Amino acid sequence: MTDASLFESLDLTAEDNAGGDLPVRSPIDGATIAQVRQANAADVPAMVARAQAAFAAWREVPAPRRGELVRLLAEELRAAKPALAALVTREAGKITAEGLGEVQEMIDICDFAVGLSRQLHGLTIASERPGHRMAETWHPMGPCAVITAFNFPVAVWSWNAALALVCGDPVIWKPSEKTPLTALATMRIAQRALRRFGADAPEGLLQLAVGGAGLGQALAASPAVPIVSATGSTRMGRALAPVVAARFGRAILELGGNNAMIVAPSADLDLAVRAIVFSAVGTAGQRCTTLRRLIVHRSVREPLLQRLRAVYAGLPLGDPRAPGTLVGPLIDADAVARMQAALARAQADGGVVHGGQAVTQGVPAGGAYVRPALVEMPAQTAVVREETFAPLLYVMAYDTLAEAIALHNDVPQGLASCIFTLDLREAETFLAAAGSDCGIANVNIGPSGAEIGGAFGGEKETGGGRESGSDAWKGYMRRQTSTVNYSTRLPLAQGVRFDV
Ligand code: UN1
């Protein structure tokens, strides 16, 4: 399919695709596929005012009715799935299966949110006073700014937007400057749902702000935006979080990961190899959940490495649209340069590098292709403790589980983790209080590819936020505790006497 017919099928107009000042380059071949118009910090007050006006109306629409809008959004996403997935592939470089998976993740969270729209439950609490009732109610919070990264250019918006919408909050979305076109297409899909939904949905409920870091900072600084949900690098979070905190806003942060797998002596190595390759090499190593560190028991290190080296040597790499490709391009040439710099540092630290070269033969010219790297490390040096957003897997050895867990937790990030073992004691130790310190801890499953039903996020430099499933919706609402006195007396709590 040509770019033009793909854009047309997603309602992207000539005006969207040309004439703007932000060039959109496909990582597949470096081609400029669009020139998108940008907003800037000066546009933020008007956008926020529109969102505030939308909030005044939307918070009064009953939550199950708000859920109906999200149900329609899921229907429109189902209809647009192949086209939107193809655009994700074109703009972000994901292989076809992963582009489709990303849109499916959007559909899944919408379905989840529809059910949730009838389950925004609060507690009732036993009052210590006679004739009194205590309860908590969850109320809409206000406009929610959603700042997303290039690597999940549409799904992360949907995790936030589907919840925010049923919770009664308008959304202002600032996508990555590297992937504004998929964001525009997603807004067109949402507009189809809004049109079908009708007049209950106020103008300004869902807005898009394409632009640079200044735009994100302006949203973070606005006191009329009570929630700022930001996904991206720890560097971005470090710049943004103090701005939100300074005005007592709520930040939901999902930042860097440096995810590890412990492979124990009893591990099913067939399973482990498949999980390692998917989670280290999938999405060309550009998931926040990507497997970056392998901590292997010394007794299985050699056989595992042998198998991995064989699989890595034959990985089908190239145009992500071609059937059979498993490794597409990195997002751009800078990402390749950062990977090469990390490999050089690892080598200087005594690492033995397998693969990792930039690839220009047998791949589309102009794209940023690399052979995934395995690096045998003698120790967890400084470079291993950093997140390098590329298919770069460090391999280290351990002797005791305690040593493996200590190594595992000795990084600044705390997103996703896993252990491969058939030993119940080891598995439970890894999941226990003194085990993995991550927000996600799996057994016999890799660290990436989470379902939407669980809360998603992690600790330490990952930022502590939770998005997606479980009770992450509470992050998008304000909790109100109410005590109602239906008696004729006024007893005070804690037995305080105050007679007037
Ligand atoms: C991300 O990389 O920012 O668990 C999100 C996963 C996906 C989401 C990744 N469901 O790998």
Tell me: the pLDDT tens digits for 316-334? 999 999 999 999 999 999 9
The CB of 148 under 6 Å from ligand 1? The reply is no
What does the alpha-carbon distance between residue 390 and residue 387 come to, in Å, rounded to a whole number?
Answer: 9
* pLDDT at site 171: 99
Helix (H) or strand (E) holding 155: helix 155-167
pLDDT, one tens digit per residue, over 332-391 is 999 999 999 999 999 999 999 999 999 999 999 999 999 999 999 999 999 999 999 999
* pLDDT at site 129: 98
What does the alpha-carbon distance between residue 284 and residue 270 come to, in Å, rounded to a whole number?
Answer: 21
Centre of ligand 1 from the C-alpha of residue 349, in Å: 30
Atom of ligand 1 nearest to the CA of 254: 3
Atom of ligand 1 nearest to the CA of 231: 3
Centre of ligand 1 from the C-alpha of residue 408, in Å: 20
- Torsional sign, CA 233, 350, 370, 446: negative
Q: Ligand 1 pocket check: which of 288, 290, 331, 415 to mutate, most ligand atoms within 8 Å of Cβ? A: 288
Centre of ligand 1 from the C-alpha of residue 447, in Å: 9
What does the alpha-carbon distance between residue 125 and residue 493 come to, in Å, rounded to a whole number?
Answer: 14
Q: Is the pLDDT of residue 1 over 90?
A: no
Report strand pairing: 132-140 vs 477-485.
antiparallel
Q: Is the pLDDT of residue 279 over 90?
A: yes
Centre of ligand 1 from the C-alpha of residue 33, in Å: 26
Atom of ligand 1 nearest to the CA of 451: 10
Q: What is the mean pLDDT of residues 20-42?
A: 95
The CB of 448 under 6 Å from ligand 1? The reply is yes
The CB of 449 under 6 Å from ligand 1? The reply is yes
Q: Ligand 1 pocket check: which of 289, 413, 418 to mutate, most ligand atoms within 8 Å of Cβ? A: 289
Written as six digits, the tokens of 171 are 């959304």
Q: What is the mean pLDDT of residues 172-196?
A: 98
CB within 8 A of 216, min separation 6: which ones? 145, 147, 174, 230, 236, 240
Q: Is the pLDDT of residue 257 over 90?
A: yes
CA geometry: angle 285, 289, 291, nearest 5 deg: 60
Which runs of E-coded beta strand occur in 245-400?
Answer: 250-254, 259-263, 291-297, 352-355, 358-359, 369-370, 373-376, 392-398
Instruction: Give the total residue count for the chain.
Output: 500
Centre of ligand 1 from the C-alpha of residue 155, in Å: 9
* pLDDT at site 66: 98
- Torsional sign, CA 296, 428, 440, 403: negative
- Torsional sign, CA 85, 91, 96, 102: negative
CB contact at 8 A, 174 and 148? yes
Q: How confident is the model at residue 16 (pLDDT cuts 50, 70, 90)?
A: confident
Q: Is the pLDDT of residue 433 over 90?
A: yes
Instruction: Give the mean pLDDT of the chain.
Output: 97
Helix (H) or strand (E) holding 130: none
* pLDDT at site 13: 87
Q: How confident is the model at residue 17 (pLDDT cuts 50, 70, 90)?
A: confident
Residue having the nearest C-alpha atom to atom 7 of ligand 1? 449
Q: Ligand 1 pocket check: which of 108, 152, 415, 467 to mutate, most ligand atoms within 8 Å of Cβ? A: 152
* pLDDT at site 403: 98
DSSP assignment of 159-219: HHHHHHHHHT--EEEE--TT-HHHHHHHHHHHHHHHHHH-TTS-TTSEEE----HHHHHHH
Q: What is the mean pLDDT of residues 386-409?
A: 98
* pLDDT at site 232: 96
* pLDDT at site 496: 97
The CB of 157 under 6 Å from ligand 1? The reply is no
Atom of ligand 1 nearest to the CA of 450: 4
Q: Is the pLDDT of residue 314 over 90?
A: yes
Q: What is the CA radius of gyration of the chain?
A: 24
* pLDDT at site 202: 98
Which runs of E-coded beta strand occur in 15-66?
Answer: 22-25, 32-36
Q: Is the pLDDT of residue 138 over 90?
A: yes
Per DSSP, what are the bridge partners of residue 1?
A: none
Q: How confident is the model at residue 18 (pLDDT cuts 50, 70, 90)?
A: confident
* pLDDT at site 134: 98
* pLDDT at site 450: 97
Q: What is the mean pLDDT of residues 89-106?
A: 98
* pLDDT at site 46: 98
Q: How confident is the model at residue 15 (pLDDT cuts 50, 70, 90)?
A: confident
* pLDDT at site 164: 98
Q: What is the mean pLDDT of residues 407-423?
A: 98
Q: Which of 69, 73, 106, 11 has its CA nearest to residue 202? A: 69
* pLDDT at site 345: 98
* pLDDT at site 14: 80
Residues serving a catalytic function are: 254, 288
The CB of 446 under 6 Å from ligand 1? The reply is no
Centre of ligand 1 from the C-alpha of residue 224, in Å: 29
